[in-house]
Amino acid sequence: MFTGGACNPVWATVAITLLLLNSGTASERQRLAVYAPQANFVLPVSEIGGTTYVGIFELLEPLSAPELKVVGTQWKLRVPDSGNAGKSIEADFEDGNATAIVRGQKILLSAPARHENGRLLLPLHNIGNILKPLLQTEVVFHEASRRLFLGGSAEEAIIELRRGEPSTLALHFPAAVNPAINQEGNTLKLSFAKDPVVIVGQSGPLNDKLFTSEDYTESNGTATLTISGSAPLLASFAAGGKTIVVSGAPAPQPTAPPNPAATSIMPAPPGTTKPENAPTTLQPPSPVAAAPPAAPPPFLIVIDPAHGGSDSGARITPTMAEKDITLSLARRLRRELQARHIAVDLLRDDDSNLSFDDRALKTNLERPALFISLHAEPGREVGIYTPALPVALSTTMDKKSFLPWQTAQQAFLAQSTALAPRIAESIGQREIPIQIRPAFLEPLQSIAAPAVAVEVPANRHGLRIPEDQIAGAIAEAVVVWKADRGAAR
């Protein structure tokens, strides 16, 4: 940021906001979703005097290299000219004035520009008129739902109903997606906040024995596809996340009485089946004294730096990939935990490819005390995600039983849900904004241990929050978690 005159903008510290969306009772903040070839991200918006405002510098920062200076009530914004190397495009605004000058042209705003806590706020209604000449790109703004598509980033989904006994519904996307998936009764909701998904002409009855209707809506920066059926539904990913297949959820299996001799808590890897009609031999009690019980496994933390190899994850900038940020943070977290005498294993310590099944298999073989997946994306707050599991898996499961691969997390879900606020509390002590919410995020549901994902905000400079602060906060939360369990492992 370049400055001039005697008055420099001072950015206010954002107060801690722990939105425990797990309960569904917290009020949802108003936001703008921005989708662009450079990055997809979400920004908060403000309601002032009946007008919705957004911070223009925060909006531009993940997309370009903006500079902003203020002299008195005058604000000058400068962004690189994408068509002329080494040159810039300028825009001028004045606090309390409803006229802006962009590239020498006047633009009338629907409400005056505002200066609030060192931020330049502009009316959201005019944001397309401001961005188009500044970024010299295509702008499509769904103002009612606050979804902003830049540079032709909108991706139309194709819905395919495959009729049969039973039918399935396939959702095809141009790129991998990661929606929040919630199930209520016979209704499945897929919410796309971070994916530039649009669905055209896909609402109404489906006239199928299993699938009764689908409804597509957009609101508060999120696109939501609601699929209703005559029975509970289950969503699964295919084609590397580019396809979501919706089918009837399997009926819950009756819980067998626990086998006292069973000791394994390992889920069955994909493709593994339990032998049928395997003979069971009951041995009489031995007169020899039983051997002492085996020592419990060590208190081990498995850290998963998300993405890697050909999967670069989110593009924070054209030259900065999510996979590099997560690996760097994972290495720092490892040092913080080891300094506290806690054993750590990284699922990857280089730029290697790992599938979701690879990550789950390696983790479950190590029987960790905790599993932490690290992610990064453009934004301003830390997201802590707990596993979201389908209703069909809500029956009680014995940790010592033979667990199906995709249901392994069910036996540990309560611990995962309890772990997230511990991490949030530790991070919150550093005055960092936080959200906690459930998400269908691979490979969390296949992990046979308490598991959470932590997503850190990043911009063109790297992490918005110093790496040592995030890693230190998570490490301190792990120490408290270990102490609460009495180091029983």
| Domains, the chain | 29-150 (3.30.457.10), 155-248 (2.60.40.3470), 300-484 (3.40.630.40)
Of the candidates 273, 239, 215, 297, the one whose C-alpha atom is nearest the C-alpha of residue 405 is 273
Report the range of poorest mean pLDDT among 7-16, 236-245, 278-287, 407-416.
Answer: 7-16
pLDDT in tens, 300-319: 999 999 999 888 888 777 77
In whole numbers, what is the pLDDT of the chain averaged over residues? 80
Cβ partners under 8 Å of residue 385, min gap 6:
420, 436, 437, 438, 439, 441, 444, 452, 453, 454, 455
Check pLDDT > 80 for residue 244: yes
pLDDT in tens, 376-420: 988 778 989 998 765 444 444 444 444 455 668 888 988 999 899
**Cα 10 from Cα 63, distance rounded (Å):** 22
Averaged pLDDT for residues 152-169: 90
**Cα 38 from Cα 155, distance rounded (Å):** 15
Q: How many other C-beta atoms can be found within 10 angstroms of the C-beta atom of residue 417? A: 16
Is the separation of the CB atoms in 379 and 414 below 8 Å? Answer: no
With b for 16 or more beta-carbon neighbours within 10 A and e for fewer, the 60-91 pattern comes to: bbbbbebbbbbeeeebbbbbbeeeeeeeebeb
Q: Give the 3-state secondary structure of residue 214.
A: strand
- Give me the phi and psi of 56, to 5 degrees please: -70, -35
Tokens of 123: 């009316």
Looking at residue 350, what DSSP letter applies?
Answer: S
Check pLDDT > 50 for residue 2: no
Looking at residue 135, what DSSP letter applies?
Answer: I
Cβ partners under 8 Å of residue 231, min gap 6:
186, 210, 248, 249
Tokens of 1: 């940021």
**CA angle in degrees (0–180, nearest 5) for 382-383-389:** 165
> What was the pLDDT predicted at 314?
80
Tokens of 128: 């397309």
**Cα 179 from Cα 187, distance rounded (Å):** 15
Q: How many other C-beta atoms can be found within 10 angstroms of the C-beta atom of residue 409? A: 28
> What was the pLDDT predicted at 266?
55
Averaged pLDDT for residues 152-179: 89
Answer with the residue of higher pLDDT: 255 or 36.
Answer: 36
Is the separation of the CB atoms in 183 and 232 below 8 Å? Answer: yes
**Cα 189 from Cα 235, distance rounded (Å):** 10
Residue type, 285: P
Tokens of 62: 């993940």
pLDDT in tens, 194-223: 899 998 876 788 889 999 999 999 999 999
> What was the pLDDT predicted at 281?
44
Averaged pLDDT for residues 269-298: 50
Q: Give the 3-state secondary structure of residue 253.
A: coil
- Listed as own residue / partner, the contacts of 2-9 with beta carbons closer than 8 Å and 24 or more positions apart are 2/67, 2/69, 2/78, 3/69, 3/70, 4/69, 4/71, 4/76, 5/69, 5/70, 5/71, 5/72, 7/70, 7/71, 7/72, 8/69, 8/70, 9/68, 9/70, 9/118, 9/119
Q: How many other C-beta atoms can be found within 10 angstroms of the C-beta atom of residue 231? A: 15
Tokens of 206: 């489906």
Answer with the residue of higher pLDDT: 235 or 394.
Answer: 235
**Cα 54 from Cα 30, distance rounded (Å):** 11
pTM for the predicted model, two decimal places: 0.60
